[in-house]
């Protein structure tokens, strides 16, 4: 749009200058005619009339040719302006469509991080502060599962020793998969990477905070900024989105959990 504005401004300046030069030219000719009348020279007056006629014909021809050029330029200008207008309307629509699709994928990965963090906390009573350590926890650690066999309400079965509790250690991924806590596309090694960012990593941290009821609780957060999720899209539209999300949730991107409040590990999109 700025290019079209500059183009129109340049054309206006050009024809303004041309018109000014024509006015100056005729002013000079009229001055010479006045001088010829005063001097009484017939030949000089005839020469001046001939010069004016030729000038008029030249100027008429110039503006006729210019009209053709202007018509052609107008057609080109209308085509370019129409394209720019349609592009200006279509671009935000396409941006919104791509944004929604990418946000769904990134939100799924943040949910996976949250589920792993919940298991981590159940074992260590705190959240993990490092994404690489969280991945190692998934690969190498395990949690204890206690299963009951028999009916504890059946006193006869209890007396016979038919009711018992079995203890087993289960891998983190196996437990989460069995409990159906992870998304279908879950992959351990890709957990730390922000989708569509070209390999950038989620920013994650953990802390302990004092709640309004004077209770100290562990918290964590994991997040990705819009400039990472949408890095190959229109910069101005990303800036506009950042302003909108800052006003709504205080963070220009997707985030799960918080280091400043106990929000039950909620996502800012939920």
C-alpha radius of gyration, the chain, whole number: 39
Q: pLDDT tens digits, residue range 120-175?
A: 999 999 999 999 999 999 999 988 777 666 665 666 655 666 656 667 778 888 88
User: Is 13 a member of any domain?
Assistant: yes
User: Is 43 a member of any domain?
Assistant: yes
Q: Give the structural domain span for 77.
A: 1-131+186-270
Banded pLDDT at 226 (limits 50, 70, 90): very high
Mean pLDDT of the chain: 78
User: Is 174 a member of any domain?
Assistant: no
**Nearest CA to 229 among 112, 105, 92, 74?**
105
User: Is 145 a member of any domain?
Assistant: no
Looking at residue 225, what is its pLDDT?
97
Number of domains within the chain:
1
Looking at residue 87, what is its pLDDT?
58
User: Is 81 a member of any domain?
Assistant: yes
Whether the pTM exceeds 0.75: the reply is no
From first CA to last CA, the distance across the chain in angstroms is: 37
């Amino acid at each position: 749009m700025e290019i079209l504005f500059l183009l129109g401004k340049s054309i206006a300046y050009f024809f303004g200058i041309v018109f000014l030069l024509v006015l100056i030219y005729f002013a000079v000719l009229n001055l010479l005619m006045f001088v010829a009348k005063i001097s009484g020279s017939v030949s000089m007056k005839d020469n001046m009339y001939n010069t004016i006629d030729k000038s008029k014909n030249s100027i008429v021809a110039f503006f006729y040719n210019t009209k053709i050029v202007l018509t052609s330029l107008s057609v080109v200008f209308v085509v370019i302006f129409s394209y720019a207008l349609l592009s200006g309307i279509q671009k935000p629509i396409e941006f919104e469509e791509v944004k929604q699709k990418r946000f769904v994928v990134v939100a799924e990965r943040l949910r996976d991080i949250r589920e792993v963090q919940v298991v981590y906390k159940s074992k260590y009573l705190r959240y993990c502060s490092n994404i690489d350590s969280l991945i190692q926890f998934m690969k190498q650690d395990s949690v204890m599962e206690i299963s009951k066999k028999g009916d504890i309400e059946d006193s006869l079965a209890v007396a016979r020793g038919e009711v018992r509790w079995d203890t087993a250690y289960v891998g983190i991924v196996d437990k989460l998969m069995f409990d159906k806590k992870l998304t279908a596309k879950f992959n351990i090694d890709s957990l730390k990477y922000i989708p569509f960012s070209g390999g950038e990593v989620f920013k994650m941290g953990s802390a302990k905070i004092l709640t309004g009821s004077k209770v100290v609780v562990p918290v964590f957060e994991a997040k990705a900024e819009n400039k990472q999720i949408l890095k190959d899209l229109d910069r101005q539209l990303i800036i506009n989105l950042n302003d909108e999300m800052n006003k709504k949730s205080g963070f220009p991107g997707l985030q799960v959990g918080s280091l400043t409040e106990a929000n039950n590990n909620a996502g800012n999109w939920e």
